[in-house]
Structure 1
């Protein structure tokens, strides 16, 4: 068994910062954490700065990266933003999606992300015609993550309707949405069952939202995930219009509807969970359903501030995602969750830096089905990232307060190293397999924008 040693100048071990720790790695896992190692041992890879567990981006729509900048002109709402999103989605092919996602996932690696949850619903060709390989789009995303060197949980998404409608069966997909739909949940299940996981790939499921999956078909998706012990994610109460439509059609909130159809539970994560009643919060917390907050997207789309603190207190584990990729920076997502709560409550200190880092690492990995990740300890997956402590944002700080520095001062630009499964995929701020990420992003996005 070949052992590689990574020597960390400082390492965050979950409760404190340890100076001079050596991480021994073999077969993709940490085999030992040796403390008090003052200098790099012979042959060790030196990681100068603060080494953290790898970050988990729990909610991603890779193709939304092409919208950055375009949607910052003028005013509008989530619903007007969605029209721009449809225009980009209409241009995607398996080849162009692979090129874009490869660059986006490389950008994530540069930001310290070691695992991504890709909430994937662009399944078919424009007009809804299946490709010869019905999973060509999903497999393009899997290949892109493998090329970029990060783990992926492909959350293959059921998207069957355009709106809840008045008859509980859902309104038919619009022309833009035809390529998202398999027609029925059973057809969705048949297609997604053909997808295969791997060493760095998990296959999960998603219900796009209560407006996009008719109530009577939700249980098919939930059962598929349950039979495989797979993660199940769902956009939940991101917009008040969704709540209003659900109340009109079903006489209950979206959270109650999901609970009544067997969707909630410890393997399930609600994304956004923004506009909730006290009863909704109790349902989510009491069932152990997780919450993925995406603060940079939620503020970019003017969604509102979700009750993250109340959800966690009720029993809902918190994770973080960059969603539409207005920025890709999990440190900013962690910081924003705390700062949003300060604005709402006008008090400070709702989460410690350690708690925010756990949401960005260990709890995010758990929401994506990666057990034994997000910790620097023997037996854990050898996924970690190093933040520089000598940049204009981080210099002059007390090393023992490295977690506080990382969360409240550092940005993705301060990441220097990223290691996944023991492989050094970002070295000194350069991606080892996509060496010019800005050019890769530019080329892929310009091709989509035409």
Structure 2
């Protein structure tokens, strides 16, 4: 399948160019020509065209919590109890319906690939489904229906917490997260097939350590080794809360980052999600390893996590990516803008991250294993996101600074691997709001 598009403006690797003619064949970009006149048969893309956005950290089921957790105050830890209640109600069928709608919402926002930090593995009582990967397969099917690529970051989750020198056993809603030990987890994940070994073309399998609270020290290296043996991306929640840091210091005499260094987990293939409460030494370690650091600003402010040191990490050598995490907001343009705005609040300075650096973070598809995406250049995957520049939010904006004015509502057209998924602001599945309502409402009915 081939098509030729014409954009008034497009963000190319060398910067913003005008009158860009983009040719697509078999899901790849075969020509990208700036300063080119449009031919009569070209499909005209409105506004400013961006590479496909990468949502590097998602918990699809958290979308059911939006607008439901603001009446009791509290902290991250009290919010977590309500999250567990939703987790306990999902099965493969209801998870498919919910994730399909959530991924369609992401596509409407310009997301062409998502990293799903997946730990709802088993039945609500902890017993395995007949297919031990039934919940992961539901996520894969959901992404295919919604028209976006999925990196299934299958997450090892073995303990319910860390107290003193003791890891607490999983209990209650957490039982469905666990596989017993790292070896059993790795055997289950090995049964998953993706685009690299004959599986679905839209699927990439990666792995994750939930956190240093949820995987005992003696099993951290085993998880990392299993993931890296397949050349797959590795992710971890890192220092999201001060309580996590203190628990790790109490148990091991090390910060979470220091513990990962001691156990050989740090590396350029690692994405440290949140990375909010870091010491200067932690920042230096992540930078020296050129690790990814995935910020989720709308979640971090919703859960009162804090503001992480994004620009300091970047200066140290770490790379930045973005995620919408619990989906209090699904808008990668807002996540990119918030990365800069939060830095302004913390530093009392503007321009901590340039528009180009923010776009790099929003399109960091390599962080979730899609190394041939996230750039508008010949040979890359044909992912195109057209953002209107004539709305009440974007009118008058410099195309080079569109990320600082646009929102998801301004996304007009989304092409993923050469396929049109969103056109004129409408998803191919139809009314995504209705799909979300139908998937979420039953999860809150009294039982």
Q: Which residue of 1 aligns with 2:61?
A: 63
Q: Which residue of 1 aligns with 2:299?
A: 297
Q: Which residue of 2 aligns with 1:418?
A: 414
More deviation, 44-53/204-213: 44-53
Q: 1:447, CA displacement in angstroms?
A: 1.9
**Could you say what secondary structure the match of 2:357 adopts?**
helix
Tell me which of 234, 244, 266 is aligned to 1:232: 234
Q: Which residue of 2 aligns with 1:165?
A: 163
Tell me which of 228, 249, 252 is aligned to 1:250: 252
Q: 1:176, CA displacement in angstroms?
A: 1.4
| TM-superposition CA deviations, 1:44-77 (whole Å, max 9, x none) | 2221111000100000000000000001223110
Q: 1:158, CA displacement in angstroms?
A: 0.3
| TM-superposition CA deviations, 1:411-443 (whole Å, max 9, x none) | 0000000000000000110111x1110000000
More deviation, 10-19/112-121: 10-19
Q: 1:167, CA displacement in angstroms?
A: 4.2
More deviation, 5-14/348-357: 5-14
State the aligned residue count.
Answer: 440
Equivalent-residue separation in structure 2 for 1:122 and 1:3 (angstroms): 39
| TM-superposition CA deviations, 1:152-208 (whole Å, max 9, x none) | 10000000101123445x210021100000111111001011111122210000000
| TM-superposition CA deviations, 1:244-264 (whole Å, max 9, x none) | 111111011111111111111
Unaligned runs of 5+ in 2: 196-200
- In 2, are the aligned partners of 1:32 and 1:377 still within 8 Å (CA)? yes
Equivalent-residue separation in structure 2 for 1:165 and 1:315 (angstroms): 33
Equivalent-residue separation in structure 1 for 2:59 and 2:147 (angstroms): 18
Q: Which residue of 1 aligns with 2:393?
A: 393
Q: 1:220, CA displacement in angstroms?
A: 1.3
User: Does 2:443 match 1:444?
Assistant: no
Equivalent-residue separation in structure 2 for 1:447 and 1:136 (angstroms): 21
Q: 1:148, CA displacement in angstroms?
A: 0.4
Q: Which residue of 1 aligns with 2:180?
A: 183
Q: 1:271, CA displacement in angstroms?
A: 0.2
TM-score normalised by L of structure 1: 0.96
Tell me which of 134, 143, 146 is aligned to 2:144: 146
Q: Which residue of 2 aligns with 1:277?
A: 279
Equivalent-residue separation in structure 2 for 1:44 and 1:135 (angstroms): 43
Equivalent-residue separation in structure 1 for 2:218 and 2:414 (angstroms): 44
**Could you say what secondary structure the match of 2:380 adopts?**
coil
| TM-superposition CA deviations, 1:372-397 (whole Å, max 9, x none) | 21111101110110100110001123
- In 2, are the aligned partners of 1:14 and 1:354 still within 8 Å (CA)? no
